[in-house]
Amino acid sequence: MFMAEIQSIRQIKRTGKSFGFFASIFLKSLKIIFRSDRKIKMIHASFSNKKLHNSTFIKFRFRNALWYEFENVNTDKREFSIPKTGFLERRTLIVHGFFASKKYILTFDETLQFEKRIKFCQAAENIEIYNEHPAYASGLLIRN
């Protein structure tokens, strides 16, 4: 019963944008428009390879999100399955809010323990800031 409710990203892509998709976006936007804080914030994100054969189950939730874009597929679903990923594969999730978007990088590292699962989904600007500062070997920073 639980397995039947999970849609794959391919099934979501085939259904396209339906009336229900636009209706849910409209209703969510009515809720968000009256909030004082409209920033997109991650509440939780996780993945699992254990329950589905040859698939990875992704589950996430964001505050003030209207819809999500994953692999060029727009959806309002907060959980779906994708074909099984590689060990350190990275994919992009774009969260669209009320006149705002935020890009997240998903890293499918199975060695992460449950407490460290927050590293699975990180904001792209945090990763870019981290990568801007190159790491130098300790021998290079010698004073003259």
Choice between 60 and 125, residue whose per-residue pLDDT is larger: 60
Q: Which of 11-15, 39-43, 116-120 has the lowest mean pLDDT?
A: 116-120
Residues 6+ apart with CB under 8 A from 8: 55, 80, 81, 82
Q: How far is CA 52 from CA 70, 122, 137, in A?
A: 19, 24, 43
Residue 11: predicted pLDDT: 74
Q: Cα torsion for 55, 44, 78, 54, to the nearest 10°?
A: 0
In Å, the largest CA–CA distance within the chain is: 69
- The pTM (predicted TM-score) of the whole model is 0.73
Per-residue pLDDT at 144 exceeds 50? no
* Range with the largest mean pLDDT of 3-7, 53-57, 112-116, 136-140: 53-57
Residue 124: predicted pLDDT: 74
Per-residue pLDDT at 2 exceeds 50? no
How many Å apart are CA 128 and CA 132, to the nearest integer?
6
Residue owning tokens 């920033």: 39
Average pLDDT of 101-127? 70
Choice between 58 and 9, residue whose per-residue pLDDT is larger: 58
* All structural domains of the chain with their residue ranges: 2-133
pLDDT tens-digit series, residues 38-97: 899 988 888 877 766 778 888 899 999 999 998 888 888 888 888 876 656 788 899 999
Residue 44: predicted pLDDT: 86
